[in-house]
Amino acid sequence: MALQATALVLLVLPLAGAFALAVLALRVPRWAVWAIGPGVVWAAFVCTLILLADSFLQDRAHDFTYWTWIQSGTFDLPANLLVDRLSIFMCLVITGVGGLIITYAVGYMEHETDPSYARFFCYMDLFVFSMLLLVLAGNFVFLIMGWALVGLSSYLLIGFYYWRYSAVVAARKAFVMNVIGDIGMILAAFAIFVNYHSLTFSGVFAALPRADATWVEIIGFLLLVGAVAKSAQLPLHTWLPDAMEGPTPVSALIHAATMVTAGVYLIGRMHPIYDVAVWAQGTAALIGAVTALMAASIAVVQTDIKRVLAYSTMSQIGYMFLAVGVGAYAAGFFHLLGHAFFKALLFLAAGNVIHALNGEQDMRRYGGLWRQMRWTSVCFLIGSLSLTGIFPLVGFWSKEVVLGDVFSKPGTTYFPQALWAIGFATAILTGFYTGRMWWMSFAGRPSADRPVEHPHEASRVMLVPVAVLTVLTAVGGFIQINAGFHPGYKLVEDFLAPTLGHLPWHARDLEYIPTAATLLLGGVAFLAAYRFYVSFVWRPWSGAVPRLQRLLEHKYYFDEAYDQMFVRPMDAIASGADRTMEEPVLEGAPAGVAVATQAGAGALSLTQTGYFRTYILVFLAGVVVAAVVLLLVRAF
């Protein structure tokens, strides 16, 4: 009972915080905003810890039903929250990493005006609530509500600087892309309801063993549409880089650590469906691998530090999709956790730099920050090395588990091994673009056109969350060290096993060879970037392949293609409809009615002579006519 209340409090606290900030924002001083904004998230973190403790002690999942929400004939929809190992795991990431990031924002957003400042924390709390609803949902209706609400809060936060045109456009783009995913989710829910007559997870999963395989595949693909849109995977990925228009803490929390990993969570949560829907699952793995490679290659040519990180996020989520797509669920979630640590760290450290350089985001205008921002540089370096996958940081353990599990998956085809090869190539590219980002920004000489000559290190409220994330990045990986080693130990997998099950296959004896190769080549690529971008010993690679460079700089022409395929035709249809429908018909109809009424009234008013006798005559004539008609009817 107490636990049931805890789960509800965990969910409602951030919503209450958002509501309080929305109502009180302009009446309370800043310190109250600090107390409410991050405060409710930390309180939610404490609630999560209580649930975690219970989960360790009791080792059972809870499906808390609070009341019956919809009752219609034989259909019954309870308002229920599912508190099991997987949702607790996600809540830990959301409230823990989220708390750190929102605390960081207290410093990062300090230059905003008071209304904007409160608005920011209001949106952030709303986001945390939506995300918690998404992961705690025990039925598809709550899941879709959370799914749509995170899209809404993402939209609000990308468009936070609403006076900037580019921010508004980016927010709209993200929203439209996400709605495509929402439609997939809703169609999936319809298909599920039609087939299983239930919308609770437990009801649906119980009905699966006697389900029609074709329908399960269809549902799997529809859910995948939602997952792909939310997680910025091919082909619905174009919104994520543009989403960097939002403030940096937003990018760290929503567009790196939590919301974009919702697709991974969805596939993990729906694993009973995906275990049956092999085609949908294979597609998820393929999309993940291809997105990982493609995003990493684009990151090589980006010059905006946040965009590099955005493409890197897409790439790393590709790894997670790859993992859950081959059935290595725990590996996917371990990488989700590790990625939340080091990517939040990278974004926040980049935020320190951006904050110190008056909002400059172009890496070509950085250079030499190592000497002036030592703390941030060290943290950023640890994050970069973790992203590259250097031993013994968390990125090494989590990425190698993903790649190792994919490599070792047995089967009749070499499909997983082909995907592993893509992932392997991605890892090398990751090392290269991460090295490029690190060396360009922090090494070498200060760029000549740097906006601030002597940048100052960030304030303490910003450095402490970064430092905490640095520690987590450095030692967080030791909770599961089975990459390349056999057997090692694997706390994440064991923790999630009651929900996701254990990995159904064992590591191959050879697994340490690809693991070592990934580590080695990634590290070499990281170092090689120094020779390209700082010492200029090697001439730029783009000189040899200008076409490739152009292709990458245009991000494989996805935006252009979508512009041609969807935006332009829609514009043409809209303007055509404006000319042929809107103006003549929709606007013409009311105007026409008005004109006709006026003219008709003018004509009819001629009968109003004002003479009493005329009226009487008409009246009597009417009576006579009526009498004659009645008589005639009677007669015949």
Partner 1 sequence: MPDYGQIPVGSGTLDARLILGLAAVLFILGAVGVLVRRNPLVILVCIELMLNAANLTLITFAAQLHNLEGQLFALMTMTVAAAEAVVGLAILVDIFRVRDVDDVDQLSDLKG
Check residue 617 for interaction with partner 1 (CB under 8 A).
yes
Alpha carbon distance, N-terminus to C-terminus of the chain: 85
Q: Is the dihedral of CA 259, 263, 269, 270 positive or negative?
A: positive
Q: Which of 413, 610, 634, 636 binds partner 1 (CB under 8 A)?
A: 610
The angle at the Cα of 507, spanning 502 to 511, to the nearest 5 degrees, equals 145
Task: Write out the two tokens for 166.
Answer: 């580019």
Interacting positions 278-307 with partner 1 (CB under 8 A): none
Check residue 613 for interaction with partner 1 (CB under 8 A).
yes
Which part of the chain contacts partner 1 (CB under 8 A), choosing from 179-187, 493-501, 535-543, 606-614? 606-614
Q: Which of 609, 622, 628, 631 binds partner 1 (CB under 8 A)?
A: 609
Provide the minimum distance between the beta carbon of 186 and partner 1 in the complex, in angstroms, as a whole number: 58
Which part of the chain contacts partner 1 (CB under 8 A), choosing from 197-205, 329-337, 582-590, 613-621? 613-621
Check residue 612 for interaction with partner 1 (CB under 8 A).
yes
Provide the minimum distance between the beta carbon of 567 and partner 1 in the complex, in angstroms, as a whole number: 56
Cα-to-chain-centroid distance, residue 31:
30
Distance CA 369, CA 3 (A): 49
DSSP state of 565: I
Distance CA 513, CA 297 (A): 24
Nearer to partner 1, 564 or 597 (CB): 597
Side-chain-facing half-sphere of 195: CA atoms under 13 Å: 22
Q: Which of 27, 67, 608, 634 binds partner 1 (CB under 8 A)?
A: 608
Q: Which of 2, 448, 606, 633 binds partner 1 (CB under 8 A)?
A: 606
Q: Which of 113, 214, 413, 607 binds partner 1 (CB under 8 A)?
A: 607
Provide the minimum distance between the beta carbon of 152 and partner 1 in the complex, in angstroms, as a whole number: 57
Which part of the chain contacts partner 1 (CB under 8 A), choosing from 114-122, 139-147, 206-214, 600-608? 600-608
Helix (H) or strand (E) holding 136: helix 114-136
Number of residues near partner 1 (by CB under 8 A): 13
Nearer to partner 1, 166 or 598 (CB): 598
CA distances, 503 to each of 331, 493, 497, 548, 598 (Å): 9, 8, 9, 39, 79
Instruction: Specify the 3-state DSSP secondary structure of 304.
Output: strand
Contact (Cβ atoms closer than 8 angstroms) between residue 182 and residue 148: yes
Task: Write out the two tokens for 377.
Answer: 């540089």
Q: Which of 70, 570, 599, 620 binds partner 1 (CB under 8 A)?
A: 620
**What character string, x for contact with partner 1 (CB under 8 A) and - otherwise, covers 554-593?**
----------------------------------------
Which part of the chain contacts partner 1 (CB under 8 A), choosing from 129-137, 417-425, 443-451, 610-618? 610-618
Provide the minimum distance between the beta carbon of 606 and partner 1 in the complex, in angstroms, as a whole number: 6
Task: Write out the two tokens for 318.
Answer: 């590709």
Q: Are strands 62-72 and 75-83 parallel, antiparallel or unpaired?
A: antiparallel
The angle at the Cα of 324, spanning 262 to 282, to the nearest 5 degrees, equals 115
Provide the minimum distance between the beta carbon of 23 and partner 1 in the complex, in angstroms, as a whole number: 58
Which part of the chain contacts partner 1 (CB under 8 A), choosing from 93-101, 236-244, 471-479, 598-606? 598-606
Provide the minimum distance between the beta carbon of 628 and partner 1 in the complex, in angstroms, as a whole number: 15
Q: Is the dihedral of CA 281, 282, 287, 289 positive or negative?
A: positive
Distance CA 78, CA 403 (A): 40
Q: Alpha helix locations (H) across 25-63? A: 30-58
Check residue 634 for interaction with partner 1 (CB under 8 A).
no
Nearer to partner 1, 67 or 611 (CB): 611
**Residue where the block lists tokens 């971008």:** 533
Which part of the chain contacts partner 1 (CB under 8 A), choosing from 203-211, 232-240, 442-450, 611-619? 611-619
Which part of the chain contacts partner 1 (CB under 8 A), choosing from 69-77, 267-275, 397-405, 601-609? 601-609
Which part of the chain contacts partner 1 (CB under 8 A), choosing from 136-144, 260-268, 309-317, 615-623? 615-623
Cα-to-chain-centroid distance, residue 184:
15
Which part of the chain contacts partner 1 (CB under 8 A), choosing from 154-162, 386-394, 500-508, 616-624? 616-624
Instruction: Specify the 3-state DSSP secondary structure of 79.
Output: strand
Provide the minimum distance between the beta carbon of 594 and partner 1 in the complex, in angstroms, as a whole number: 19
Provide the minimum distance between the beta carbon of 624 and partner 1 in the complex, in angstroms, as a whole number: 10
Provide the minimum distance between the beta carbon of 631 and partner 1 in the complex, in angstroms, as a whole number: 14
Distance CA 122, CA 114 (A): 12
Check residue 618 for interaction with partner 1 (CB under 8 A).
no
Can you state the angle between helices 460-475 and 374-388, rounded to 10 degrees? 30
Q: Which of 418, 570, 596, 616 binds partner 1 (CB under 8 A)?
A: 616
Distance CA 189, CA 436 (A): 44
Helix (H) or strand (E) holding 311: helix 305-326
Beta-bridged to residue 72, according to DSSP, are 75
Provide the minimum distance between the beta carbon of 603 and partner 1 in the complex, in angstroms, as a whole number: 10
DSSP state of 139: B
DSSP state of 585: I
Residues that bind partner 1 (CB under 8 A): 604-613, 616-617, 620
